[in-house]
Amino acid sequence: MEKHNSDSNYDSNSKFVNLGQEDQMKITGYQTRIVKQIVTWIFVILTIGLLRLVFYWRPDWMVKCMCRKVYLKSADYVLLEDQYDQIFVERVKTLPDYRRIAKLDSSSSSSFSNQFKQDDSLSKMMSRIPSYDELTVTKQYFMNKKVKYIWNDDLQQFEKLKGLDEIMSCSIFYEKKGLTQSEELQRQNLYGNNSIIVSVTPVVKLLLTQALHPFYIFQLFSCALWYSDQYGWYATCILVISIVSLTVQIYQTRSMQRALKSTITSNEMVSVYRPDKQEFEIVLSAMLVPGDVIEIPKQGCVMQCDAVLLNGNCIVNESMLTGESIPVTKTPIPQGPGIQDVKFSLAEHSRHVLFSGTNVIQTRYYGSQIVKAVVIRTGFSTAKGELVRSILYPKPVDFKFTQDGAKYIGVLALIALGGMIYTLVLMIERGDEVGSIITRTLDLLTIVIPPALPAAMTIGIVFAQKRLKRQKVFCISPRSINLCGAINVFCFDKTGTLTEDGLDLYGIVPALKQRFQTEEKQISANNQRNPLVIAMATCHSLTIIEGCIAGDPLDVKMFEATCWKLEEPGEDTSKYDVIMPTVVHPSVSDNAGHLPEYENDKAMPYEIGILRQFTFTSKLQRMSVITREINSNHFDVYAKGSPEMIVSLCNSETVPADFHDILTFYTQQGYRVIAFAHRLLSRMTYVKINRVQRDELECGLTFLGFLIMENRLKPETQPIIKTLKTANIRTVMVTGDNMLTALSVARDCQMIDRHDHVVMVTGLPPSDVSPARLEYTCSENIVNDSKLKYSSRYQLAISGTSWTIIHKYFPEVLPKLAVRGVVFARFSPENKQQLIELLQDSGYYVGMCGDGANDCGALKTAHAGISLSEAEASVASPFTSKESSISCVPNVIKEGRAALVTSYGIFKFMACYSLTQFLSVCLLYWIGATLTDFTFLYIDLLLLTSLGITFCYTSAYFVLDPKPPKVSLIAVTPVLSLILQLLVHLIIQLTVSKLTEQQPWFEPFIPNEDRDYQCYEVTIIFLSSSFQYITMAIVFSKGPPYRRIIFKNYVFMVNIILSAGITIMIVVYPFQWIIDLMELKMPPSLAYRGLIVGIGVMNFIICFITETYIVDFLIDGKFIQPLTEKYINIKLKYQVIENEIYSQPDWPPISNSDTSIADLMRLEQFTVDACAPESKDFTYVDEEENKVKEQRKPENELSIKPSFGSKLQTVNEAELQDIQNLNDFLQNGHGKDSTNDLNNLLNVFGNRSSSDLWQNDNEDVIPILPRTMSDDSATLMQMTNTNNPGSMKIKMETNEESSEVTIL
């Protein structure tokens, strides 16, 4: 990105699209020029089309040659460059000729604008969105990666075409009445068809595309050269191999395209409302556009678009997106006065959105009403479309091995250039014909750069993929297999990955009157009407599908433990025909044990109806329901969620004092703890409860207690973690669960060693009295922290809240967290993805294993993501295991290492083969000869091809070695290995040539015009080099510790024996037809032939010793590595960070306070409150008792909350004087005439004017909580406006006394 910003060649004509997003691209406009086009095409003709071929490979060069850079609005083409340096050229088009594109409903747009007219930031944001009424017939656009970009006249740049999800408020969805037919056609002009088209490329087009690849063009050039040089047999074989290879590639590509198309492409009939006809009409789903109001069928459907639910409920299977085949309940988008100012956000309101590709199992609705939804996104803009685009346009894999391979080919090209110059000079001095000089010179290029190199590099990956498939691990991104061989950090989700999918009930801990009751292992029949049990029976999202209870496994276990029954009267699609869509009741009829408020009518059956659900979201960390007991005159709210979140919503007087101590007790043992709370709604009507917002309900709760779930480790977890750590592969846990639970599981599975200390990093946001700061607390009780500071055996743990604070205020600490962090708890999906990216930026090769629920982003971002889910979400992950345990992780790494070492070896084999053949040809060129057609054929087909294929067949070693394989080809060891091997081969070939010249029967070669190369020199070079090719295949086929020993590759061993046997036969006693076919001139001496075999054996021994002892043992192990460590400071980024940590013995600065883990959790909870996106109501006015109840507040903060609804104000110590001034002002008798002074003082109370204070008929309560004072002197002041204007009541309370003063 810095490269883009610092590029001075780009002026105002270059801008960015998707600025600040993952798909950010630099965009430059170009306009065609006739003169430049004519000149360019003249050069294309002069180069016989070669320049056009180059332009096919580099279309940006063609644009630059034929066009000139212009302002974007005038551009005919745009040049796009993404962050991976990929270049795209797109043609700018104009929308079809319609008079005007339809506006959004003018009333809605106006209403939306008015709602936000005072919000400057939102107004600016809205001004950047192209409005529909601006889209005239001159509107320009272009397509890139299936996304349409529209010209924005206001910003003078192209912007991604947005759906309704980015430009609407929540309330406006209910104003949508659908589109008329004319509006529908006009919007189709803008958005296009609602279809995710994965086209199957025609064979002819695919053939041309593949055949024009540089690899095949080079092969075509080579074959043409060989045919011109009368090497017909070899050229024909290579041509046949290329055709077969092309055919296989085309077949595989079309098969994958057909499979993806059959999975993705679908088109259904949809019922769409037309306001001009006042009725629904049936249309193809491809005709849907944003703004359409559609009907969701009663019996469900597969969603063809993203739509916001307006009424009714939908039970949806979102496995295509989340990876979990668990029914999810979708509820209507909220409506009412409270949400008029709320802008719709797909992330925050996803529980109200039906996503494309998900399966709606059932719909539920009120009476005869139908379930309706508003279309917000279509086509490739939908959630399904984005997933398909990620498959069609995957992120390029930046792997050093691949980069080095390209550099090696460049080096080979330079060597070929040197050889070509050598040949050119040699043949000119000898006076050869021009045609012969050109042929021989170009022939060297085809020898040095082997055409089969790219194919050979993929063979090992193909075999590894097949072996993984046998182990029930499926790979959709084969190029990721080599990356697995370099993995040195592996991240794991906890629940469902390290631990069992299901949770078992351990017990419940009820709370009553601020005290925890005795732990109960089982819920007895006499205790079934305990409020905590009622909360367990009602606060869930379970439903009945085909007679069985379905839903989240945790909810199922929890409900089964209550021994209650769940009933849903009526047909599944008409559950809202009755007032209570879901009814639960105890399975026993015993009335004992229920509380007084439930004893109104013991004669009636005890049943509770679940009227409304607020579904669980990871961001809110809770869910809640509204219920009503049969024949009751009030409603109830039950909530459950993370203990930290639930306690922040409860009245402090209902929370036991030892809350954090009890929570710590269970979480430290690895239990999953869920908190429950309740609230009585005594003044709510049925209509109001269906419109009230959850924020208004989920406050002022009464704490009910804990549900303790036991989440056992999978039996494979501990040995697998131990295996990875033994292999020096760092293991990291990243989970959404509680910190202490995660730490307990990490210790149980030995992710944290027994002797390791864990330092918990807590980030605290800034306040008015102190800046943002970090707290480092050891999870163990260490008397002397020097034991930790001077020890390297400590790990870091951090929560998602603290991670966000560190990201914002302490980014310099993030690299240390990447190197030393072991547990990352309460992490959201976005946090997980950020962690993966941070580890990658630190130089790690990162793997990620998760169950697919909240891990899709991390799985796609990691170098190697392994999904344990069998759902369709696995398409987002390179690997999918059908075994739901992490036992697949070592297997993937083993196969990755084997594939990487195989690619490493085959590359060296191919490079050494080509350079050895290059040496042979150069030696023969010296005398004017070369190898014959069939000797080339024997080497390239029988030896090279067969050995190269079977070379890759060696399977992975069964043990993970602590030392990872090398990933760089441009290093001392591989380069020195090639040089030494080539040196040995050159010496052997020169030695054999000189020995042959000294034999009495030797006859030197005489150049001739008939190209008769049947001579001793060619024969001896051919025979000796044949042994060298077999030698290289054996020497470079490394075994343990990454691949099994060579003798276990039976196919390769048979091939070696056959190749060596045939070569020995040709040397010692060849058949006459072989001699004639290969044009050999065999030495007449049988003893000399035996000597050639002996030299071949000696060549093998020397090469083997050179590679295994000199290169691998001495140079790499005993010389290069120590020399590098001592004199050459070549370290990866994470190694530099680790050294920096070692050099700072005082880091981390452990807190010296006696802070317990429970205290740390309290501190963390206060951080959660402070970082909440919206202000929380810390004052709860009971509707029945009209009492102000105090909430827990952070230390050293003073909160002032007027009950009339202004925003929460946090007052620091410096502002306490203002409060005291107000107190003095009132006590000194100042009245209504001193409004100016009073107004200034009241600014600290939410900017409420004095006239409002006195003229309000209702009571205004302002509790002031000076937490900086000691508990004994803590004062609660309440200013209460009585019905007598000008009179205020001051109530002073302390622990010792209470007094009231009336001020007139």
The yes-or-no answer on residue 493 being catalytic is yes
- Please report, for residues 144, 290, 293, 1062, the alpha-carbon distance to residue 287 in angstroms, rounded to integers and kept in the order given: 22, 10, 12, 68
Helix, strand, or coil here: 159?
strand
Token output for 468: 């993984």
> What is the C-alpha separation between 692 and 699, in angstroms, rounded?
13
- Assign residue 563 a region (left: φ > 0; alpha: ψ between -120 and 50; beta: otherwise): left
* pLDDT (0 to 100) of residue 1145: 80
3-class DSSP assignment, residue 229: coil
**Collapsing DSSP states into helix, strand and coil, what is residue 69?**
strand
Both tokens of 799, joined, read 């929560």
Burial class (CB in 10 A: 0-12, 13-18, 19+), 732: buried
**Beta strands 77-82; 635-641: pairing state:** unpaired
Nearest-5° angle of CA 178, CA 181, CA 183?
70
User: Counting beta carbons within 10 angstroms of the beta carbon of residue 408, is it exposed (0 to 12), middle (13 to 18) or buried (19 or more)?
Assistant: buried
Other CB atoms closer than 10 Å to residue 881's CB: what's the count? Answer: 25
Separation between Cα atoms, residue 804 and residue 810, nearest integer Å: 10
- Computed on alpha carbons and rounded to an integer, the radius of gyration of the chain in Å comes to 38
Q: Is residue 1183 within a helix (H) or strand (E), and if so which, with residue range?
A: none
Read off the pLDDT of residues 692-725 as tens digits, 9 standing for 90 and up.
888 888 899 999 999 998 878 888 999 999 999 9
Structure tokens at 393: 């346009």
Q: Hey, what long-range contacts does 943-947 have (CB within 8 A, 24 or more apart)?
A: 943/1026, 943/1029, 943/1030, 943/1059, 944/450, 944/452, 944/910, 944/913, 944/1029, 945/241, 945/452, 946/1055, 946/1059, 947/909, 947/1029, 947/1030, 947/1033, 947/1052, 947/1055, 947/1056, 947/1059
Residue 1269: predicted pLDDT: 32
Report the Cα 968 to chain-centroid distance in Å: 26
Per the CB < 8 A criterion, the answer to whether 585 and 606 are in contact is yes
pTM recorded for the entire structure: 0.70
Neighbours of 1036 (CB within 10 A): 25
> For residues 268 and 301, is the Cβ–Cβ distance under 8 A?
yes
For the chain (1304 residues), the mean pLDDT of every run of 10, in chain order, is: 38 71 87 93 91 91 92 91 87 70 38 36 36 50 90 86 79 80 84 85 85 83 82 77 79 77 79 86 89 87 90 80 69 73 77 87 76 90 82 70 77 85 86 83 84 76 90 85 92 87 82 88 76 91 80 83 80 49 72 41 67 78 88 89 90 90 84 90 80 85 91 89 94 86 86 87 84 82 47 80 90 92 86 89 91 72 84 65 90 94 90 92 89 87 88 92 86 86 94 93 86 90 95 93 93 95 94 92 93 95 92 74 55 85 83 57 53 35 34 35 33 47 48 44 40 36 33 33 36 36 31
Distance CA 73, CA 67 (A): 15
**Three-state secondary structure of 27-50:** EEEEEECHHHHHHHHHHHHHCCCH
- Residue in this structure with the two tokens 């293991």, named with its chain if needed: 731
Question: Which one of the listed residues 493, 555, 785, 940 is annotated catalytic?
Answer: 493
